[in-house]
């Protein structure tokens, strides 16, 4: 709403305009815009709590934890430290990585990592993932075996004594130490109809779902992560959940037919690739049918 007044200056006689504006709502009342962005966030939190939806802060913290876990997993898988390879492996996972350089554009001083609207600085993910600490973190995960040098014993001379026969008895050696359990599966969080489900994938096939995903050129909605999750759910025989996830990301492919499952003589890795191939088909957008008009 605005009010304008046109008049002449009292001394020079020059025409000038006075304009008074304010925002009003649909009922004609003045709308207070003080800290409007903070009030909008609080209103969104109230609506989320009323419907039982996840709060944006909770979703952001969950994504931050997922990124931290994958950064640590990436460093553990690297045989030698190479920060460019580290960035490439994060991008293959579907994350957006943006390095930051100094004013000379020569020295790397930091980077951000995220996906969609959730973008974090490396320091927010964890101090050990900062550029200045990244190589030291990798070295802690790959310690070199230490070599202990034995000092040669100085020879000593003792008077000879008559030898005495001693019966030797052998005792079975028992080791009380138990081997540490080795993780055989990796946990993943999958969003199914707004509910986060935690699934466990064998490490023998995990890399197939992470590295062999390809997003179709015609698909503008499904991401590498969506297709990967659909393939994992199919691998675990969670057909309904896989169908729900594929439809939520714009997929229009049909669900697997009856009899879907593991063959008796099928290798786990081959089955993982078959599930991933079906996930690609399920996440494709539905084809528009042409209709003929007169």
Under 8 Å between Cβ of 114 and 120: yes
Domain assignment present for 290: no
Same domain, yes or no: 261 and 219: yes
Domain assignment present for 51: no
Separation of first and last alpha carbons in the chain: 50
Same domain, yes or no: 62 and 27: no
Same domain, yes or no: 78 and 32: no
Same domain, yes or no: 69 and 102: yes
Domain assignment present for 149: no
* Secondary structure of residue 120 in the 3-state scheme: strand
Domain assignment present for 179: no
pLDDT in tens, the chain (294 residues): 788 999 888 888 899 898 888 888 788 887 777 777 788 878 888 887 888 787 777 888 888 888 999 999 999 989 899 999 999 999 988 899 999 988 887 889 999 998 877 899 998 889 999 989 999 999 999 887 666 566 655 555 555 565 565 556 555 555 555 665 666 888 888 888 888 888 899 988 888 888 888 776 655 567 888 888 988 988 888 888 888 888 887 777 667 776 667 777 788 888 889 888 888 888 887 776 655 554
* Secondary structure of residue 42 in the 3-state scheme: helix
Under 8 Å between Cβ of 68 and 126: yes
Same domain, yes or no: 278 and 190: yes
Domain assignment present for 237: yes
Look at residues 83, 113, 141 and tell me which one is the last residue of a structural domain. 141
CA distances to 97, 138, 227 from 94, rounded to whole Å, are 9, 22, 11
Look at residues 78, 106, 141 and tell me which one is the last residue of a structural domain. 141
Same domain, yes or no: 86 and 21: no
Same domain, yes or no: 67 and 134: yes
Domain assignment present for 153: no
Same domain, yes or no: 200 and 128: no
Q: Are strands 15-21 and 118-121 parallel, antiparallel or unpaired?
A: unpaired
Work out how many domains the chain is built from and give that number. Answer: 3
Domain assignment present for 168: no
State how far the Cα of 273 lies from the Cα of 185, in Å rounded to an integer: 18
Same domain, yes or no: 62 and 33: no
Domain assignment present for 79: yes
Same domain, yes or no: 121 and 64: yes
Q: What is the b/e burial string over 183-192, where b = at least 16 CB atoms within 10 angstroms of the residue's CB? A: eeebebebbb
State how far the Cα of 189 lies from the Cα of 149, in Å rounded to an integer: 48
Task: Show the DSSP H helices in 6-55 as ranges.
Answer: 36-51
Question: Would you tell me the crossing angle of helices 56-77 and 131-141 to the nearest 10 degrees?
Answer: 60
Domain extent at residue 250: 185-282
The model's pTM: 0.38
Same domain, yes or no: 207 and 274: yes
Same domain, yes or no: 24 and 83: no
Under 8 Å between Cβ of 240 and 271: no
Q: Shortest CA distance to 244 belongs to which of 268, 201, 279, 271?
A: 279
């Amino acid at each position: 709403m605005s009010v304008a007044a046109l008049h002449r200056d009292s001394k020079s006689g020059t025409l000038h305009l006075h304009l008074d504006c304010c925002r009003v709502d649909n009922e004609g009342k003045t709308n207070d815009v003080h800290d409007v962005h903070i009030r909008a966030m609080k209103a969104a939190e109230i609506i989320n709590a009323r419907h039982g939806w996840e709060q944006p802060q909770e979703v952001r913290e969950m994504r931050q934890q997922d990124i931290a876990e994958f950064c640590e997993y990436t460093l553990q898988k690297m045989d030698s430290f190479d920060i460019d390879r580290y960035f490439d492996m994060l991008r293959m996972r579907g994350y957006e990585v943006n390095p930051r350089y100094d004013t000379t554009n020569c020295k790397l001083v930091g980077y951000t990592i995220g996906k969609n609207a959730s973008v974090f600085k490396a320091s927010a993910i964890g101090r050990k993932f900062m550029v200045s600490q990244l190589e030291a973190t990798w070295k802690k995960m790959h310690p070199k075996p230490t070599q202990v040098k034995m000092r040669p014993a100085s020879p000593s001379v003792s008077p000879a004594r008559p030898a005495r026969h001693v019966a030797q008895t052998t005792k079975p050696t028992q080791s009380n130490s138990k081997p540490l359990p080795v993780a055989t599966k990796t946990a993943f969080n999958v969003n199914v109809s707004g509910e986060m489900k935690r699934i466990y994938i064998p490490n023998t096939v995990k890399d197939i779902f992470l590295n062999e995903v390809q997003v179709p050129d015609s698909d503008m909605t499904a991401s590498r992560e969506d297709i990967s999750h659909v393939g994992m759910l199919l691998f675990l025989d969670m057909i309904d959940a896989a169908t729900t996830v594929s439809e939520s990301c714009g997929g229009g492919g049909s669900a697997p037919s009856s009899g879907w499952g593991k063959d008796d003589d099928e290798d786990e890795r081959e089955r993982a690739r078959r599930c991933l191939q079906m996930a690609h088909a399920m996440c494709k957008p539905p084809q528009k049918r042409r209709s003929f008009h007169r």
